[in-house]
Amino acid sequence: MAKHKRTVHDGPAGTDAPPGDGDPARPRMKNKEYRRELRRLHGELVALQEWVKATGAKICVVFEGRDTAGKGGTIKAITERVSPRVFRVVALPAPTPRERSQMYLQRYVPHLPGAGDVVIFDRSWYNRAGVEPVMGFCTRAQADEFLQAAPDVERAIVGSGVILLKYWLEVSAEEQTRRLQSRIDDPRKVWKLSDLDLKSYSRWHEYSRCRDEMFRATDTAWAPWYVARTDDKKRGRLNIITHLLANVPYEPLPHREVSLPKRQKADGYRKPAMPLRYIPAPY
């Protein structure tokens, strides 16, 4: 397995406490405070979006983590107020037989950002480092081959001008249990529960070993891993968005003065007397 010199950064290398070891005495963030801070950060994300469009910047954000760690909710918080034409979310399904016959990373390359794109991977090529070996979808040799190749591929991605940010969302075993039980009990969340979730739940320590090996092999100077504790989903989302904004060298564009133009005159237009099917209005 290829080894890479580790540099000092705010990723796994500099983490003193075990991932997910939060402060149990700290209260969970209240929704009012969360919405206030998220509103402010949404404004910054829009400023980032306009800078990306104006400069042709290319940004790729990878989200990985255990089941229930909050990847989907974090991505939703990021994309809630920006354009889907700029912020594109990629969540690939299981590979087809043809894709399984290809070089592993081949199916991900077409989704990498071009000029003016922010691409967010809801799980990524790192499936080969976690889900696949734990669940038996690939061999150990295939996983080792991926871990050896990934740093060089990511060096090429960064070398092409892409800003690559990789986030690992870490949730404690106790919180994962609570969230999965909620999916079982709450009819609004049952769609989130898959057979794979249940199988992976019992393999906590196997996932931990794969995560540690992934960090050792792919936490590099050019594409470091950043760990976010997400037992408190609201704090976790705000922390991730703040970190993302701090790691992109965007500059807010000058504010454009805009005033609404006058509407045209009716010039003889009359609303036609035709029956329209209005929907019922119970609210």
Structural domains of the chain in order of their starting residue, each with its CATH number: 29-246 (3.40.50.300)
CA gyration radius for the chain?
A: 22
- Name residues whose C-beta falls within 8 Å of residue 19's C-beta, 6 or more positions apart in sequence: 12, 168, 170, 211, 227, 229
Rounded to an integer, the average pLDDT of 4-13 is 44
Q: What span, in angstroms and rounded, lies between the C-alpha atoms of 253 and 26? A: 38
Rounded to an integer, the average pLDDT of 179-206 is 87
Instruction: Quote the pLDDT of residue 206.
Output: 95
Tell me: pLDDT of 17 over 60.
no
Q: What span, in angstroms and rounded, lies between the C-alpha atoms of 50 and 248? A: 13
Rounded to an integer, the average pLDDT of 33-39 is 98
DSSP code for 100: H
Tell me the pLDDT tens digit for each residue of 59-94: 999 999 999 999 999 999 999 999 999 999 999 999
* Report field, pTM of the whole predicted structure over 0.95: no
- Name residues whose C-beta falls within 8 Å of residue 158's C-beta, 6 or more positions apart in sequence: 164, 222, 223
Mean pLDDT of the chain: 91
Q: What span, in angstroms and rounded, lies between the C-alpha atoms of 190 and 198? A: 13
For residues 234, 237, 243, 249, the Cα torsion angle rounded to the nearest 10 degrees is -130
